[in-house]
Amino acid sequence: MKHANTMTPIIHIGHMKTASTWMQRRIFQNEELGFYSPWSHQDIVNRFVIVDPFSYDPQLTRGRFDDEFERAKSSALIPVLSEERLAGSPDSGGADAEIIAQRLNQTFPEAKVLMIIREQNSMILSWYKQNVRMGGGNSLKRYLNPPERSALRVPLFNPMFYQYHKQINYYYKLFGKNNVLVLPYEELRLNEVIFADKIRSFCGSLSDKALSYEPKNTAMSGLTVTLKWRINRLLLRTALNPNGLFESRRLYRDIDRFFKNLNNALPAALGSLPDKRMARYIRTYTKGMYSDSNLKTSELIGRDLQNLGYD
């Protein structure tokens, strides 16, 4: 195995629905590529996301990673913290994205940061389907149009979360532009070899092992989503749907299994009929919302996003 040429920690923050699972399993947990990532989703979320904001201790948190960092160093591997929730949650409009960025910088000021973005209309539809898959109980229209903002309103979806230039600028400020790599998800779909090589080069991996991209979390069809959110709203009490009747992990799994089987059984042409309607609604909803941000993002990351289908 070719050894890595740097032990600088890498933080992959997401975004969600940008092939994070593939990168985690095929790249960052692959020691043959020079990476080391033993931390679970819950490890990272517990330490950087669901913590008391007034009790956060960077030194204490850093200490919880020291042993694994030493193991990585002794094996000439690059330690990677990979968790898409670190970029913020679309369901809360990225309400905690800034404070998470601060925690990461306070804890690992020497780190390099990897961020993957995705064309907004595609992202919104993909994430809405994921929201329903996880127990969300809103129609697309209701999800995208939460109640009016007020002092009492809990954080809900906010389309401004996907104006990527703001977050990119903030990470540049915290870590330095040369220590932040932003890649469009669409480049992965075009050529996974070049995409993976950019990540490996940025991180310092010297491996030239070939990789192939296989999507891991295939989206439900529009018809399945349309049926499932109604069942979720009535039956499932979750963090995404607190008014459901039953808070039951077993019921959640049973419903999830039923709709997975239904999704697989539906003819593709029938299942995808509502997708076109949902895509049209999203295009109307976002019209003109992201063009200025995408221009700024193109300039920040040195890539022509228009050629990749961005507004």
Domains and CATH numbers, the chain: 10-119+158-216+289-308 (3.40.50.300)
Work out the percent of the chain whose per-residue pLDDT is above 70.
Answer: 97
Cα(37)–Cα(77) distance, integer angstroms? 9
Lowest mean pLDDT among 136-140, 166-170, 213-217, 290-294: 213-217
Residue-wise DSSP of 121-154: HHHHHHHHHHHHHTT----HHHHHSPPPP-TTPP
Mean pLDDT of 121-150: 94
Cα(147)–Cα(145) distance, integer angstroms? 7
Predicted confidence (pLDDT) per residue in 4-47, tens digit: 555 799 999 999 999 999 999 999 999 989 999 999 999 999 99
Residue 229 or residue 152, greater confidence: 229
In eight-state DSSP terms, residue 51 is S
Task: Look at residue 203 and tell me whether its pLDDT is greater than 80.
Answer: yes
197: CB partners within 8 A, 6+ apart: none
- Report the pLDDT value the prediction gives residue 214, as an integer from 0 to 100: 72
Mean of pLDDT over the chain: 93
Specify burial of residue 209 (Cβ count, 10 A radius: 0-12, 13-18, 19+): middle
State whether residue 67 is helix, strand or coil. Answer: helix
Side-chain half-sphere CA neighbours of 158 within 13 A: 18
pLDDT confidence band for 1 (50 / 70 / 90): very low
Predicted confidence (pLDDT) per residue in 282-291, tens digit: 999 999 999 9
- Report the pLDDT value the prediction gives residue 226, as an integer from 0 to 100: 95
Residue 7 or residue 120, greater confidence: 120
- Report the pLDDT value the prediction gives residue 232, as an integer from 0 to 100: 96
Predicted confidence (pLDDT) per residue in 254-280, tens digit: 999 999 999 999 998 888 899 999 999
Task: Look at residue 233 and tell me whether its pLDDT is greater than 80.
Answer: yes
Task: Look at residue 3 and tell me whether its pLDDT is greater than 60.
Answer: no
| Predicted structure pTM score | 0.93
